[in-house]
Amino acid sequence: MITWHDTEAQNMMNTFGPTQALLVRGSGAHVTDIDGRTYLDFLGGIAVNSLGHAHPAVVAAVSEQAGRLMHVSNFFSSLPQLALAEKIKQLAGTGESGRVFFTNSGTEANEAAFKLARLHGGTARPRILALEQAFHGRSMGALALTAKAAYRDPFGPMLTGVEHIPATIEALGEALDDTVSALIIEPIQGEAGVVPLPEGYLSAARELTRSHGVLLIVDDIQTGVGRTGEWFGFQSAGIMPDAFTLAKGLGGGFPVGALITTGAASELLKPGNHGTTFGGNPLATAVALAVLNEIETADLLTNVREREAQIRAEIAALNSPLISGIRGSGLLLGIALTQPIAADLAREALATGLIINPPNPDTLRIAPPLNITSADVTEFTTLLGSVLAAHA
């Protein structure tokens, strides 16, 4: 008997290790596999499914736009694209100078940001700063910005000029000079184990980069679109970067990303500098606009903050000796473990019907939909508690 595992092995490239389940449908925070087993999805496609699975607003946007206009190329514009750009600018507070370049993914958005830094710096400012433990994607430019050796080493040499510095204000102050074109940072380093920037870092980075004529680029791909309880991660510090990138939750499961520029950075990219075949097509932008409108209309930012408080309280009540704390903000949280057993716990959680993720050996990451209910949270902490108790 040929199983789906056999079919996968015979036809698909294995770039992510063994696939854990073949999912066939979903609803809200739950998904069902081909054998009829249902899971509570508290990973959300790694912070992508901001409205959960099969949300009516997303389904309607896909259906309506697919029947109207799906692709037009960059020679033309479309109403959803323009409306989405205006909406992002309004929510971010970029003002009139804000400009948007749509992409298909986060790594592609960071590739555009990389080119923005090169245009800004030219040959006089060849250095680009990123942080130790950073993750900015896996294409070659974005990979140069990414710090993890396991992702980089098979593909060297990297693009030149990128330096990774410690995430401290002191290290930033020492590294900045008139040879640096840009600093790119994540408000919370998700792949590093959901590690927030140190208190005051974003504000200090804004002041220091401005004083040195260096672009501040915020990678808000995992933290943006309401994930942290703010529309965008940099808003927690009350700053405005020169540029920021979005993807993941922007499309609620549909592939779409964006580079947004402000101020003088909006004048850097000229006609012919950059392009994309599918970026910003009417279907993707219509879905993303529906996602943003639903988050706003349903006041999901408030729900994110309330569910975060509930998660923290219910995990604390588990009083598990395997948990040492919780990092992160909103519904991007890292459950810190006292032992390097994250992979084992994630595997055992899946067996009980709970999807979570181990970004490193001693952290469990959760990034559920922004519209999860109080009952969803209690189901999560009940399942997690049973896994922890069985492992203790």
* Active site members: 135, 219, 248
User: Going by DSSP bridges, is the β-strand pair 162-165/332-337 parallel, antiparallel, or unpaired?
Assistant: unpaired
In the block, tokens 């698909």 appear at 12
Q: Return the structure tokens found at 193.
A: 């184990």
Closest Cα partner for 246 from 83, 114, 88?
88
Whether omega before 157 lies within 30 degrees of 0, making that bond cis, reads: yes
The H or E element that residue 329 is part of is: strand 323-329
Could you tell me what percentage of the chain is helix, strand and coil, using 3-state DSSP and rounding each to the nearest 5?
A: 40, 20, 40
Whole-number Å distance between alpha carbons of 111 and 104: 11
Distance CA 6, CA 3 (A): 5
Nearest one of 25, 31, 32, 33 to 4, comparing CA atoms: 33
